[in-house]
Amino acid sequence: MTVAAPNIRERRTLGQWLSRLFPDRQILLRTEASYRSITLSRRFQLTAVSLLVGLSAWAAFTTTHYTFFSDILSAKNEEVVSAEEAYQDILGQFVRHRSRLQVVNQEVQRLSQVDRSNLLAVRRMGERTAVLADQSRKLIERTGLNTKQLMKAAGIPHGAQGGPYIDVAVGTPARDQLNSEIERLEEQLQYWALLQGVVRRLPLNPPLHTFAISSGFGKRRDPINRRRAFHHGLDLVAPLKSPVFATSAGVVTFSGVNGNYGRFIEIEHGAGLSTRFGHLHKLLVKKGEVVKPGQKIALLGNSGRSTGAHLHYEVRFNKKPRNPMKFIQAGRYVFQE
């Protein structure tokens, strides 16, 4: 009983407050001839107020939700617009890159054509260089010398050689083929240049403008004692005091009287090559002098162990005598070419 008493008083206080706030109300409606009254009970008023409050709350909720949803839609619309702008920007970049790629492809095609043209030109140069190198080797062989031995004597390594022309495998890119051909061409040019350096040392020029051979290279009967002997050079007959010429560039290592040779000149040409001139009448160069091919070095004579005016002419390789006539004939072949 002590617990329920406050609840009864609270219900009475609430009921009194509602009775004062929502008393029964009558509304008079007047017409032309009579009066009519409508009674609004407390329950009706409470119901109407409740409905009005509920509608207000619903209206407030829907308004707030609509505003929030509108904000979401606006944000989504902005994202869509940004995405469209980004897409358009990416599309524009793609179009630009595609245009650049087309330009690059065109340039690559042009360069490929240039590379192919250069490849053919380099190949032709390589073929021509190989031919020239082969001609140089054949020229050396005409003198009776061995190319490898001659290059070794010139201080050129044995590995510095050329080689046959070998085509690049089909399917290799033009640029790679071009680089390979250029490397091969450089090797061929280097080898040919080395060969040319050796060839220029060869005594290919004749020592006299005109001459007749009175005694060849090799075994013969000695003109004085008539005994068999080995002749290390050529005896070239020409008028007394005919000019004698250097047969290749070199350095004079001896100029003077040398026993049976009489007045004598020796010239070192490098690569183990040297030439000797004997029985001279007058010497026109001195020891240590550098001479050029075709330079006048002496006058033909009859000094030393000789039976008449002539030139004793020798060619030596690594101090061993070689047949001078092969060098003269090789020189004639070069000049004819």
pLDDT higher for 215 or 76? Answer: 215
Higher-confidence residue of 134 and 26: namely 134
How confident is the model over 232-246, as pLDDT tens digits?
A: 899 999 999 999 999
Residues 118 and 112: their CA atoms lie apart, in Å, by 10
| Residue 1 pLDDT greater than 50, yes or no | no
- The band of 56, judged by pLDDT with boundaries at 50, 70 and 90, is confident
Pick from 120-124, 227-231, 233-237 the range whose average pLDDT is largest. Answer: 233-237
C-alpha distances (whole Å) from 49 to each of 37, 54, 56, 114, 239 are 21, 8, 10, 95, 156
Q: Average pLDDT for residues 154-177, to the nearest whole number?
A: 58
Contact between 60 and 51 (Cβ < 8 Å) = no
Yes or no: say if 236 and 214 are a contact pair by the CB < 8 Å rule.
Answer: yes
* pTM, rounded to two decimals: 0.60
The DSSP call for residue 244 is E
Q: What is the mean pLDDT of residues 185-212?
A: 88
Q: Is 92's pLDDT higher than 90? A: no
Structure tokens at 127: 């073929």
Calculate helix-pair angle for 4-21, 42-142, nearest 10 degrees: 90
> Contact, 202 vs 334, CB < 8 A?
no
- What one-character DSSP code corresponds to residue 261? G
Pick the more confident residue, 181 or 239.
Answer: 239
Domain architecture of the chain: domains with CATH: 109-199 (no CATH), 212-336 (2.70.70.10)
Q: Which of 89-93, 132-136, 147-151, 205-209 holds the top average pLDDT?
A: 205-209
Residue among 281, 282, 283, 279 at smallest CA distance from 307: 279
pLDDT at residue 98 is higher than 70: no
Poorest-confidence range of 67-71, 94-98, 114-118, 172-176?
172-176
Q: Is the pLDDT of residue 183 over 50?
A: yes
Residue 143: Cβ-neighbour burial (10 angstroms; 0-12, 13-18, 19+): buried
Rounded Cα–Cα distance for residues 264 and 252 (Å): 11
pLDDT range class, residue 6, cuts 50, 70, 90: low
Interval 214-241 mean pLDDT: 85
Lowest mean pLDDT among 56-65, 191-200, 228-237, 327-336: 56-65
Best CA proximity match to 198, nearest among 140, 142, 250, 276? 140
Closest CA to 159 of 191, 136, 202, 127: 191
DSSP one-letter code for 256: E
Task: Classify strands 243-245 and 273-283 as parallel, antiparallel or unpaired.
Answer: unpaired
Q: Is the dihedral of CA 62, 64, 69, 71 positive or negative?
A: positive
pLDDT tier at 171, thresholds 50, 70, 90: very low
Q: What percent of the chain has pLDDT over 90?
A: 31
Residues contacting 209, CB < 8 A, separation 6+: 242, 243, 245
Distance between CA atoms of residues 203 and 321, nearest Å = 13
